Amino acid sequence: MSLKGRNAIVTGSTSGIGLGIATALAKAGANVMINGLGSEAEIAAATKEVSAAGTRVVYDPANMLRHNQIAEMVERCERELGSVDILVNNAGIQHVSPVEEFPIEKWDAIIAINLTSAFHTTRAAVPGMKKRKWGRIINLCSAHSLVASPFKSAYVSAKHGLAGFTKTVALELATAGITVNAISPGFVKTPLVEKQVPDLAKSRGVPEAQAQKELLEPQPTGRFVEIEEIGALAAFLASDAAASITGSNYSIDGGWTAR
């Protein structure tokens, strides 16, 4: 399952799942443009980790809140790496709060980063993919693209939206050699989830240890999904072997949505 000669962008790949996916794609042979926020040291560490596979790795600082920067990132990848064959829309943030107290700026940022940025990257990358008659778009959704949990109104709305966007674009590109799929993890231990524990503890009025146990309750396996498991699925969906898989939303959630 080689991705040799393919060029990929993974948004939000300075940390967590995105970093794991970027590493998995590089290990399969792809050159990768990584992206995301972070200190100089964090970005250098992420670049080093993905580079270990020996393929070309370039960092782009595009902020997923800025459509001009997103378009420039796609253009730069085409210019410097030669193409965007694989696009992984992974950048995401979370905020947990009852709806009536949900900060308006948090709602706007979650919709912009978790949903609208995927529209901007896709819009910019599709013309090149169409020209080359080959492309893979993978959207990081969530179990929350299929089911809801209280206090996550913006995140659940954005992820349901991204699942719908995935299906729509898959239909539009079905005969163009471009597949569009979603990956929907359950809980994965990354900084995004670690931050939720104190927030949940606060909104539920319970100690943090209890909040962590409650967080994992929907996941029948009772354990966090591993980042490497998501990387392996992304590398498969990016491969030629997955050419007939499009418009799908792959749950990787320890049985969460089987209930």
How open is the CA angle 191-118-58, to the nearest 5 degrees?
70
The residue within the footprint of ligand NAD, chosen from 23, 26, 30, 92 (CB under 6 A), is: 92
Asked if 93 touches ligand NAD (CB under 6 A), the answer is yes
**What's the DSSP call for residue 225?**
B
Asked if 239 touches ligand NAD (CB under 6 A), the answer is no
Give the SS3 label for residue 33.
strand
155 is catalytic: yes
Among candidate residues 107, 155, 165, 250, the one labeled active-site is 155
Q: At its nearest, how many Å lie between ligand NAD and the CB of residue 199?
A: 13
Asked if 212 touches ligand NAD (CB under 6 A), the answer is no
Q: Of the candidates 92, 83, 94, 87, which has an alpha carbon nearest to the alpha carbon of residue 34?
A: 87
Enumerate residues 59-78 that contact ligand NAD by CB under 6 A.
Answer: 63-65
Give the SS3 label for residue 232.
helix
30 versus 183: smaller Cβ distance to ligand NAD: 183
Mark the segment that binds ligand NAD (CB under 6 A) among 88-96, 121-129, 169-177, 235-243.
88-96
Residue 245, CA distances (Å) to 8, 97, 108, 167, 215 in order: 19, 36, 32, 12, 31
For 174-207, give one letter per residue: b (16+ CB within 10 A) or e.
Answer: eeeebbbbbbbbbbbebebbeebbeebbebeeee
CB atoms within 10 A of CB 240: 11
User: What is Dmax (Cα atoms) for the chain?
Assistant: 55
The residue within the footprint of ligand NAD, chosen from 7, 31, 83, 90 (CB under 6 A), is: 90
Asked if 185 touches ligand NAD (CB under 6 A), the answer is yes
Asked if 231 touches ligand NAD (CB under 6 A), the answer is no
CB atoms within 10 A of CB 2: 11
Q: Which helix (H) or strand (E) holds 127?
A: helix 117-132
Asked if 33 touches ligand NAD (CB under 6 A), the answer is no
Q: At its nearest, how many Å lie between ligand NAD and the CB of residue 72?
A: 13
Q: At its nearest, how many Å lie between ligand NAD and the CB of residue 128?
A: 21
**Which amino acid belongs to residue 103?**
P
The residue within the footprint of ligand NAD, chosen from 84, 178, 188, 237 (CB under 6 A), is: 188
Enumerate residues 103-122 that contact ligand NAD by CB under 6 A.
Answer: 113-114
Judged by CB under 6 A, the number of residues near ligand NAD is: 29
Asked if 137 touches ligand NAD (CB under 6 A), the answer is no
Hey, which residues are catalytic here? Answer: 155
Q: Residues in the site for ligand NAD, rule: CB under 6 A?
A: 12-18, 35-38, 63-65, 90-93, 113-114, 140, 142, 185, 187-188, 190-193
